[in-house]
Structure 1
């Protein structure tokens, strides 16, 4: 096998399958590991330091996971830079000059991953819905993976009249309220999608005006990304209770998407009637939980740091170590917050280890 041959065609075929076996997932994960080991010097050095080579690695569980902060320090890529590539960057809420970068020489893998998963988990059989996007478009934020994700949702699944309601001046509240009034009056299901903090601003504005909506059955909401210092922070229970009450959408149709710039695939829940909700992904991404101090998989039922193996990440690394705490449950995992204390220290040590290896 030519380890440097592009794996894109195989990935696209794999994503297009309805499902896969454990053996099929492992086969492609190992193919991608061999490709990335051969093509990325920084990643190869890290793997060699851990004694993980294509000969030793036998399963996706064995693939060394790169801490997400490494995306801030190095260009993790297999293909050379090109004028056509897209670069998605993290939001930089801690330091604007120190943002993680994910290089996409082509977006067909990302886009197929997004649309197939979104159709199943958010659209749930509906071909199109009128959509309101509470986030800037790609022209305003060309390096935002979320801007691309939401624009792709609108262009692929949004019916006529779907639009962005976030302008350079902020939320177009009059336009949004008029649109929601029309949907309510006409009995037309409506979908609202955006960053979690945008919904906080919308709910606050409705409360100040003493207004509430009862959107028609079939309406749904997608929030993602948390608050990022852009709004007041709410406990999950309060957030979804307020959202459902303000817009008249059942909490079971208030769906949260969990994703990150460093991934090419998203996780969803099946609504937030109860929180925290169970997150799960499609067949081309798998997750495990590790003890940050040892790097070993935690015991069943224990909490740990989430590691994701995303076969859509063909140009960077398939396996990333997040700073998110999770717990495995039936059907997926619970997202329990960011690493703190000992867990955060484990993340920092993982970054230091990666940087030492990459510099060797």
Structure 2
């Protein structure tokens, strides 16, 4: 199956407008509304499960007037339905969740990765690279060749190609860390006094910290170096607190906590959030101008008062092919310019998330 000529032309036009919007750092609220509504119209027309969900909510092309009116789809809906404007067989990339819950993997389809890559590179340059164009890098994660359905593997591969100097080594293959290659790169950075950017999943960095501690190994990386972690700390939460984790990163690599960067992302999004410092945790996460975040009550779907805890909802314009509004199962609260992530929903909050998913599935099963 292929898309119609009409849809192909509309998709191409939408991508061009979206790319221009991402490049326009001065875009305001009216610009955001205009872009969000254009994407909503496209998704309402071509994403059938999303359209049914919207209709059940009474959210149609006539009633949705601003981005906040677009109903957020529960994150687990990606495990239950094909949320794609383009037929799955016509997409170039399918990123899949880990499937740790009920062994069912959510699937996020992308016609191509043009917008995903542009989104990644644009905000990564601002939040991670800072005043540098390139870094000597090393990655504690498999590369895209070994994990073709991992959004994180793709993200790190794109980052290494766009911002790395020379060959960037990926130190993990078949769940095994190549400590010899990692230590070789660390020692070379020190010998050449060239700032080094060490990137990896949080649990991978925690494993390295543990291994280095057992051998009483530390490295004094050159001034200007950074350490970047991608979240997923929960598997090590019983061994280390977040404060201890960042203290040990700083001590092991001689990189101050202010230069340790944390990324918050998920397979179901096409854009990532970053903090600006880990000197205090949990840190505030910030998104780019093509994202918005709401904190809602899971039963009423209404915004909670500023500073109060609720369920995090993301609006990501780069999700032009799937759904731009996504209700997570994460709890947090707003801070000026960003939000603080507290963890997974529990108790009544989790029940509210389950109700949202049930409502979505009821809508999808309904006949037109």
1:22 corresponds, among 5, 20, 29, to 29
Partner residue of 1:55? 62
Structure 2 distance, partners of 1:231, 1:171, is: 20
Moved over 3 A (4+): 227-233
Partner residue of 1:307? 313
Partner residue of 2:364? 358
Give 5+ residue unaligned stretches, structure 1.
Answer: none
- Distance 1:169-1:75 versus aligned 2 partners, 3 A rule: closer
Cα deviation digits, residues 32-60 of structure 1 (max 9, x gap): 11111111111111111111111111111
Structure 1 distance, partners of 2:167, 2:194, is: 12
1:88 corresponds, among 95, 98, 102, to 95
- CA shift, 1:9, in A, is 1.3
Instruction: Summarize the alignment of residues 130-169 of structure 1 with structure 2, pairs less than 5 Å apart.
Output: 130-168=136-174
Cα deviation digits, residues 215-252 of structure 1 (max 9, x gap): 11110011013136478653211111111111111000
- CA shift, 1:3, in A, is 9.7
TM-score with structure 2 setting the length: 0.94
Partner residue of 2:105? 99
- CA shift, 1:211, in A, is 1.0
Partner residue of 1:275? 281
Structure 1 distance, partners of 2:291, 2:53, is: 22
Instruction: Summarize the alignment of residues 243-282 of structure 1 with structure 2, pairs less than 5 Å apart.
Output: 243-282=249-288
Structure 2 distance, partners of 1:169, 1:260, is: 21
Does residue 1:39 correspond to 2:35, yes or no? no
Instruction: Summarize the alignment of residues 232-247 of structure 1 with structure 2, pairs less than 5 Å apart.
Output: 233-247=239-253
* Secondary structure class of the residue paired with 1:292: coil
- CA shift, 1:185, in A, is 2.5
Partner residue of 1:127? 133
Deviates more, 1:225-234 or 1:122-131: 225-234
Structure 1 distance, partners of 2:102, 2:245, is: 27
Number of residue equivalences: 358
* Residue pair 1:78, 1:316 contacting (<8 A) in 2 also: yes
TM-score with structure 1 setting the length: 0.96
Does residue 1:322 correspond to 2:328, yes or no? yes
1:341 corresponds, among 342, 347, 351, to 347
Deviates more, 1:6-15 or 1:219-228: 219-228
Cα deviation digits, residues 84-130 of structure 1 (max 9, x gap): 5100000112333x011000011100000000110110000211111
* Secondary structure class of the residue paired with 2:299: coil
- CA shift, 1:187, in A, is 1.4
- Distance 1:38-1:66 versus aligned 2 partners, 3 A rule: same
Structure 2 distance, partners of 1:169, 1:309, is: 33
Structure 1 distance, partners of 2:92, 2:235, is: 30
Structure 1 distance, partners of 2:175, 2:298, is: 43
* Secondary structure class of the residue paired with 1:240: helix
Instruction: Summarize the alignment of residues 197-236 of structure 1 with structure 2, pairs less than 5 Å apart.
Output: 197-227=203-233, 229=235, 233-236=239-242
* Residue pair 2:293, 2:312 contacting (<8 A) in 1 also: yes
Partner residue of 2:298? 292
Structure 1 distance, partners of 2:105, 2:144, is: 18
Does residue 1:331 correspond to 2:337, yes or no? yes
* Secondary structure class of the residue paired with 1:182: helix
Give 5+ residue unaligned stretches, structure 2.
Answer: none
